[in-house]
Structure 1
Amino acid sequence: MESHLKVSHPKLMAAVLMFGSFIGLFAETALNMALTDIMEDYSIIASTGQWLTTGYLLVLAILVPLSSYLVRWFTTRQLVTAALIISTAGALFAVAASSFSMLLIGRLVQAIGAGIFLPLMFNVVLMIFPIHKRGAVMGIVGLVITAGPALGPTLSGLIISVSSWKYIFVIMMVLNIILLIVGAPKMDNVSNITKPRIDILSLVLSTVAFGGIVYALATLAELPLSDISIWLPLAAGIIALILFTLRQFKMTEPMVNLRVFKYPMYTVGTILMIATLFIILTVAILLPLYLKSVLAYTAIAAGLLMLPSNLLNIILSPIVGSSFDKVGARVYTRIGFTLITIAAIVLIVIISSTTPVWQVVAVLCILFAGVAMTIMPAQTNALNQLPPELYADGSAAMNTLTQVAGAAGTAVAITMFTAGQNKYIEEFGAEVPVEFLAGGINYAFYSVLVTGIIGLILSFFVKNSLPKTK
């Protein structure tokens, strides 16, 4: 029995989906380097500005669960075309933004397009390539997932240095239009169009669950946990998540088939993916703040300083992917999370207002070498354990949780950063701004350390799983 679907242009389809997903993931962190400029242009504070990233991830977290419905209602070409048009419209709105509110709306519209694209990439790639090529292909998928948000600050730093931050959106808009013209017409359908009944209650519960939790985490940067603006959406989100989960198990055609979590390696792999995405998004918002606000580097210099670690990730990801079948997820995830944990410890030790920048760059390289070894093996090993009919549900559940993790990473980073600054000011005063800013960044890296340790412990429960065929 064939282990994959025959399509006319498998490599082109994969390339369009990967590049479209890369643009969407790049957009997650692209404004981090521009945050100080945007704060100045619109007279806002950091905790307000971070909504440009958190809001984007919030929409992804709400929308991605719908993907398992969308692939059963619309053809692959229809979904790709719609995603590219919506992303382009969002970028256009952001370019024209005369206020922070308009810019935020543009970002949220952009996120709708990315929310369609990302799970579609997983589902299609798993369906159109034979099992013996899956390791190498998923290695490139892993690279897209890590390089998109990781390269965001670097590429946007280069753009900001030669023009306005609005050109970040212009470039994304142009790339989406090119994909729409060149790639969308070549998309063959790989979906099984059954048009299942849409369960409105599941949609509402999913939206309240993921929206409430991410909103509460993001608002922690501005208000204490005891404030009603935090505990009410958090409580509503947790209750809705429990009700959503119970409902999915009772339904004959669930919105997201949570029975995927009955496969142990899928569950472990998804948690490791959550940990890795949390770390990537946390680092992607903290490092630009540190390099620009504390060490006083320009946007282009800060972007270039983050480039070596990204290049190392780009080099290592295909190597990990091509050797995955021989080495296995067990070895790679253990080595990866060991490197991440070591890097987090060293960053906490060295980060200050006077740290030589070469030390930060070197440790960042260690951290991203670890990321390259965790994300693709964890993800592929997780999906390998699922039967093909559960790929759409598996990728929807995994992508939802990783986007929530990304949003949580951004929110927790800013919250820890603010708490760290206040802690430093209480002890030493606020006479030297770079000192308490450095104190805030240092404190925020404890969240990376804790997440790295959790990932390292879980990696010892990983068992290599073989792909299932129909």
Structure 2
Amino acid sequence: MQATGAKPAQPASSPAPAAASAPCPRSAAIPAIPTGRAMWIMMIMMLASNLLASFNQSLMNIALDQVATDFHVSLSVANWMVLGFTVVAATVITMAASLLKRFGVRKVMMFGYAASLIGSLLGFFAMNFPMMLVARLVQALTVGLFFPVVTSVILTISPAGKKGTMLAINSGVIGVGLAFAPMLAGLMLTYFGLKSLFLIPAVLSVGLLGLGFFFLHDIYPREDRAIDVLSVALSFVGLGAVIYGLNEVSRNPLPSALVMVAGAAAVALFAWRQFHIKTPLLNLTPFKHPRFVCGEVLMMLGYMGSIFMSLLLPLYLEGTVGYSAFVAGCLLALPILCYAGSCFVGGRIEDKHGIWPLVPAGFLLLLVGFIGVEFTSSAVLVVAMMVCAAMAYVGVGLVFPTLKAADLEVLPKEIYAHGAAIHSTLVQIAGSIGSALFVGVMSADVDGLMAAGATKAQAYAAGFSHTLYIDLGILAVAFVVSVIFARIMRKKRTGK
């Protein structure tokens, strides 16, 4: 096998964000797609980059209780460490395709590594809540760039017939990051304090920044492409307003509802504008394909289930049971590793047989696992609760990457990149909605119950149970819809 090899890029049919329909004005040469060992090295770099991004994204999941305690704020305020992060990430994702067209893979990825490093250093030296929040917003730039760019690069350089498998491996790698982040973050948090959490992504960023100089290559044609500033503003303000309203709706229903309506109007205006400007920030053409839309809605519902577990389970283990952040992180590691394993299995099955009955089975596992979590959490049976959580995580692993691959496959190749960008944006939106809804409701319950004289453990247990019932209702609807959708997709695939 040769150390390097390349074949000419095919911009007309490539699923890359940088594919152009007109000759590239910046360079006469069309970049080459690496093959052989060079391709696999770049693939490993992409997977490692998403490992960093997933660690950045989940860094504070185990630490919300500590943030609230250290900075003397409510859980809903502490939750902006997660919410602010996801709003910025979702906004940047809408810009990723345009940035990639203008600057290429190498510069975009290197900027992402630098943003992760700068944000991590800001967090380590933060003196108060606003400073640490700013650090999280800088880190979010990395996730907003990496998730769509890495997906598009994997789709472009994967060997024929292996796209679904490689996307599943990518989801599995993210799952590994999500599994070890709570454990490592819990260890640092318990023994070295809140700010020490930022040392881990700082070290990873330095390593990838150094390796990027040698192993990252531009693989797409470049073009001067304007970025519509008004679209960026509408996206950021709209998403921020919707998420703020959801986070506060349990405390101040009417004002929060009005803020959400205003945010939804801004998002609608953003969508309208994308169809009426020459260079849209986010090409929404994939939404003209009903199967893509239905699959993405199901993906968002399934992802909200994983958000519940990654944010609310640590709060229960720390606030109700009284475990340290390290112990809580260790308990969560095995269930999340089950997610990583099921991602790979689901990808292999989807490549060969499609999404029936894989996706409905995943939602059923999610639903049954959550019902088990409700019964075991009420009785404070921690080990049994983790077993049920593992079952639910397996369900997420079967649903999430499988739907991602299936949704992109229904699109014409020339709009793969736009579908990938939309998918990554919707993942962040689903995470924001889930986080704002679940943590917002639990925070309101905890504050109200503790003001009425309940202990912290009692308040956290009641809030956890309340939010769990909300998620069970969402998942029940998702399961029914998934059965109908998967059967339709099966008929399209087999003709029967």
The TM-score, its normalising length taken from structure 1, stands at 0.91
Q: Is residue 150–residue 284 contact of structure 1 (8 Å, CA) maintained in 2?
A: no
Q: Is residue 149–residue 280 contact of structure 1 (8 Å, CA) maintained in 2?
A: no
Work out the CA distance in 2 between the residues paired with 1:197 and 1:433: 52
Q: Is residue 71–residue 192 contact of structure 1 (8 Å, CA) maintained in 2?
A: no
CA apart distance, 1:86: 1.0
**Which residue does 1:457 correspond to in 2?**
480
Write the deviation string for residues 123-151 of structure 1: whole angstroms up to 9, x where unpaired. 11111113311121011122234444454
Alignment of 1:41-120 (within 5 A): 41-120=70-149
SS at match of 2:346: helix
Aligned-partner residue type, residue 402 of structure 1? V
SS at match of 1:190: coil
SS at match of 1:75: helix
**Which residue does 2:334 correspond to in 1?**
308
Quote the sequence identity (%): 28
Q: Does residue 225 in structure 1 map to residue 253 in structure 2? A: yes
Q: Does residue 178 in structure 1 map to residue 207 in structure 2? A: yes
Aligned-partner residue type, residue 401 of structure 1? L
Work out the CA distance in 1 between the residues paired with 2:116 and 2:164: 30
Alpha-carbon distance change, 237 to 267 in structure 1, aligned in 2, over 3 angstroms: same
SS at match of 2:253: coil
Counterpart pick for 1:415 among 440, 443, 459 = 440
Aligned-partner residue type, residue 391 of structure 1? Y
Write the deviation string for residues 201-220 of structure 1: whole angstroms up to 9, x where unpaired. 32232222222212222333
CA apart distance, 1:422: 6.7
Aligned-partner residue type, residue 381 of structure 2? P
CA apart distance, 1:262: 1.7
**Which residue does 2:308 correspond to in 1?**
282
Aligned-partner residue type, residue 330 of structure 1? W
Aligned-partner residue type, residue 461 of structure 2? A
Alpha-carbon distance change, 327 to 159 in structure 1, aligned in 2, over 3 angstroms: farther
Alpha-carbon distance change, 50 to 300 in structure 1, aligned in 2, over 3 angstroms: same
Q: Does residue 335 in structure 1 map to residue 361 in structure 2? A: yes
CA apart distance, 1:245: 1.7
Work out the CA distance in 2 between the residues paired with 1:423 and 1:161: 28
Q: Is residue 27–residue 149 contact of structure 1 (8 Å, CA) maintained in 2?
A: no
Work out the CA distance in 2 between the residues paired with 1:317 and 1:284: 17
Q: Is residue 330–residue 459 contact of structure 1 (8 Å, CA) maintained in 2?
A: no
Q: Does residue 194 in structure 1 map to residue 248 in structure 2? A: no
**Which residue does 2:462 correspond to in 1?**
439
Alignment of 1:247-286 (within 5 A): 247-286=273-312
Q: Does residue 123 in structure 1 map to residue 152 in structure 2? A: yes
Alpha-carbon distance change, 116 to 291 in structure 1, aligned in 2, over 3 angstroms: same
Write the deviation string for residues 21-59 of structure 1: whole angstroms up to 9, x where unpaired. 222222222223223333333222222211111111111
Aligned-partner residue type, residue 353 of structure 2? V
Unaligned runs of 5+ in 2: 1-8, 15-31
Alpha-carbon distance change, 431 to 238 in structure 1, aligned in 2, over 3 angstroms: closer
Q: Is residue 420–residue 442 contact of structure 1 (8 Å, CA) maintained in 2?
A: no
Work out the CA distance in 2 between the residues paired with 1:224 and 1:60: 27
Q: Is residue 154–residue 300 contact of structure 1 (8 Å, CA) maintained in 2?
A: yes
Q: For structure 1, which segment, 30-39 or 133-142, has the greater mean C-alpha deviation from structure 2 after superposition? A: 30-39
Alpha-carbon distance change, 192 to 209 in structure 1, aligned in 2, over 3 angstroms: farther
Write the deviation string for residues 338-374 of structure 1: whole angstroms up to 9, x where unpaired. 110112222233322x411112111001101101100
Q: Is residue 442–residue 467 contact of structure 2 (8 Å, CA) maintained in 1?
A: yes
SS at match of 2:227: coil
Write the deviation string for residues 227-250 of structure 1: whole angstroms up to 9, x where unpaired. 2xx244322211112222222223
SS at match of 2:33: coil
Q: Is residue 446–residue 456 contact of structure 2 (8 Å, CA) maintained in 1?
A: no
Write the deviation string for residues 415-470 of structure 1: whole angstroms up to 9, x where unpaired. 221344478679xx63443223211111111232123223212212131577xxxx
Aligned-partner residue type, residue 452 of structure 1? L
CA apart distance, 1:16: 1.7
Alpha-carbon distance change, 184 to 432 in structure 1, aligned in 2, over 3 angstroms: same
Say how many residue pairs are matched.
Answer: 460
CA apart distance, 1:165: 2.9
Alignment of 1:136-151 (within 5 A): 136-151=165-180
**Which residue does 1:398 correspond to in 2?**
423
Alpha-carbon distance change, 204 to 424 in structure 1, aligned in 2, over 3 angstroms: closer
The TM-score, its normalising length taken from structure 2, stands at 0.87
Unaligned runs of 5+ in 1: none
Alpha-carbon distance change, 328 to 151 in structure 1, aligned in 2, over 3 angstroms: farther
Write the deviation string for residues 248-301 of structure 1: whole angstroms up to 9, x where unpaired. 223343221211012233212211221122121221111111111111112222
Aligned-partner residue type, residue 234 of structure 1? M
Work out the CA distance in 1 between the residues paired with 2:291 and 2:157: 23
Work out the CA distance in 1 between the residues paired with 2:322 and 2:226: 55
Write the deviation string for residues 366-405 of structure 1: whole angstroms up to 9, x where unpaired. 1011011001110000111222321221111111111011
Q: Is residue 61–residue 211 contact of structure 1 (8 Å, CA) maintained in 2?
A: no
Q: Does residue 448 in structure 1 map to residue 471 in structure 2? A: yes
Q: Does residue 366 in structure 1 map to residue 352 in structure 2? A: no
Q: Is residue 74–residue 443 contact of structure 2 (8 Å, CA) maintained in 1?
A: no
Alpha-carbon distance change, 425 to 169 in structure 1, aligned in 2, over 3 angstroms: closer
Q: Does residue 33 in structure 1 map to residue 62 in structure 2? A: yes
SS at match of 1:74: helix
Q: Is residue 87–residue 236 contact of structure 2 (8 Å, CA) maintained in 1?
A: no
Alpha-carbon distance change, 431 to 251 in structure 1, aligned in 2, over 3 angstroms: closer
Alpha-carbon distance change, 305 to 198 in structure 1, aligned in 2, over 3 angstroms: closer
Q: Is residue 69–residue 196 contact of structure 1 (8 Å, CA) maintained in 2?
A: yes
Aligned-partner residue type, residue 308 of structure 2? T
CA apart distance, 1:115: 1.0
**Which residue does 1:389 correspond to in 2?**
414
Aligned-partner residue type, residue 91 of structure 1? S
Alpha-carbon distance change, 199 to 32 in structure 1, aligned in 2, over 3 angstroms: closer
SS at match of 1:120: helix
Q: Does residue 20 in structure 1 map to residue 49 in structure 2? A: yes
Aligned-partner residue type, residue 289 of structure 2? Y
Q: Does residue 298 in structure 1 map to residue 324 in structure 2? A: yes
